Amino acid sequence: MKTLRLFSFTRVGLAAGLFATIALVSGTIAKPAAGAMAKPNAPTDNGGASNVGEAVCIKCHKPENTQFSHTLHANAFRLNPKNEKEKLSCEACHGPGSKHIEDTEKRGLLVGFTKEWGTPVATQNGMCLQCHSGGNAMHWDSSAHGRNQLACSDCHNPMAKVSAAGLLKKPTINETCYTCHQQQRAEFAKRSHMPLPEGKMSCADCHNPHGSTSKSAMKSDSVNELCYNCHADKRGPFLWEHAPVRENCLNCHNAHGSNHDKLLTVARPFSCQQCHGNTNHQGPLYNAGQIFGGGAAPNSRALGRSCLNCHSQVHGSNHPAGARFQR
């Protein structure tokens, strides 16, 4: 009998402790810490304004309506709205408009998507993130663009169909990226470059401008994995691996463009001699007296593909005799 009573008290004690723990956790979740930031995608009411409807907006904004009518947003909001928010059309993005009608000069009574309007970037992006918070944009808050207070409207123009896709502010993805990334634009103009200027690829083939889990907003976990998407023959595995190749493609190549052959960061044979310069073979083979301008007849090994004349499988070899990457 005592054993049963003790067991009952024990169960009651465990149950009470469990309920207390649940209550404590629930209270902690329900009451966020003081000063915690509001969610960036929290909608705004524009100072307590109410919705007036798209027809009222169009009465004053006819040119904007003409441009907007050709966009994907217009088709979605007007022809196939998914929820009550999308049915609001203009006010789904700009917020309720009743206060704006009363005082059109006071810009704070409406969410604007230009730098001149003055709406905080967090508020602008919050309106966009109400619908575009998942998929490719799920890492936006931690991305380089997000951390540097870039607004969605710095790259996109949702009010006009300027580009074929994505409602970009420029006709193409590349031109949009070039607005800020001038160094990369110059690299793509060099003699050897990725086929981006020719239209065979775009910046978004390698990078996710809305953020990713890797450096430089890359679409893969590492540089090599990204390169292997197109250069599958360099993936391996190889019986004989070249260490710098396995480590990082950027040890030898410039990702965007170079004035040297094959996007090399340094011209051959000097690219190879950065690592292979202290042996009896590579060091004396290419010196100032054996290349053009040195005053002597050039060594035949410095012509054509240079070191790769013999070491043709420089990325790796599966041949039993390929230890020197010759086969």
Average pLDDT over residues 70-75: 92
Q: Helices in the chain by DSSP H: which ranges?
A: 2-30, 54-60, 62-68, 72-79, 84-87, 90-94, 98-102, 121-129, 144-147, 173-178, 182-188, 223-228, 243-247, 270-273, 282-285
Least confident of 6-10, 58-62, 209-213: 6-10
- The yes-or-no verdict on residue 3 having pLDDT over 50 is no
Least confident of 44-48, 173-177, 320-324: 44-48
pLDDT at res. 31: 45
Q: Please answer whether residues 272 and 306 qualify as being in contact, where contact means their C-beta atoms are separated by less than 8 angstroms.
A: yes
Instruction: pLDDT band for 157, please (50, 70, 90 cuts).
Output: very high
Residue 37's SS3 state is: coil
Task: Choose among 212, 192, 96: nearest CA to 146.
Answer: 212
Average pLDDT over residues 209-222: 93
Instruction: pLDDT band for 97, please (50, 70, 90 cuts).
Output: very high
pLDDT at res. 30: 43
Contacts of 156 (CB under 8 A, 6+ apart): 166, 167, 168, 169
Torsion angle of the four alpha carbons 43, 48, 53, 56, in this order, in degrees rounded to the nearest 10: -130
Average pLDDT over residues 180-190: 96
pLDDT at res. 270: 82
- Give the C-alpha separation, 145 to 156, whole Å: 13
Q: Please answer whether residues 311 and 324 qualify as being in contact, where contact means their C-beta atoms are separated by less than 8 angstroms.
A: yes
pLDDT at res. 301: 57
Average pLDDT over residues 240-258: 96
Contacts of 112 (CB under 8 A, 6+ apart): 94, 118, 119, 124
Q: What's phi and psi for 66, nearest 5 deg?
A: -60, -45
Per-residue model confidence as pLDDT tens digits over 255-302: 999 999 999 999 888 888 888 876 555 444 455 555 544 555 655 556
Average pLDDT over residues 148-171: 94
pLDDT at res. 61: 94
Q: Which carries the bigger pLDDT value, residue 291 or residue 320?
A: 320
- Give the C-alpha separation, 282 to 266, whole Å: 16
CA-CA-CA-CA torsion sign (240, 246, 251, 256): positive
N-term to C-term CA, the chain: 86
- Give the C-alpha separation, 281 to 283, whole Å: 6
pTM: 0.77
Per-residue model confidence as pLDDT tens digits over 28-37: 444 444 333 3
For 233-246, the DSSP string reads GG----SEE-HHHH
Helix (H) / strand (E) containing 193: strand 192-193
Residue 258's SS3 state is: strand
Task: Choose among 173, 73, 177, 212: nearest CA to 131.
Answer: 73
Per-residue model confidence as pLDDT tens digits over 103-130: 988 888 999 999 889 999 999 999 999 9
pLDDT at res. 68: 94
Average pLDDT over residues 27-46: 50
Paired tokens of 269: 């044979």
How buried is residue 317: exposed, middle or buried, by Cβ count under 10 Å (0-12/13-18/19+)? Answer: buried
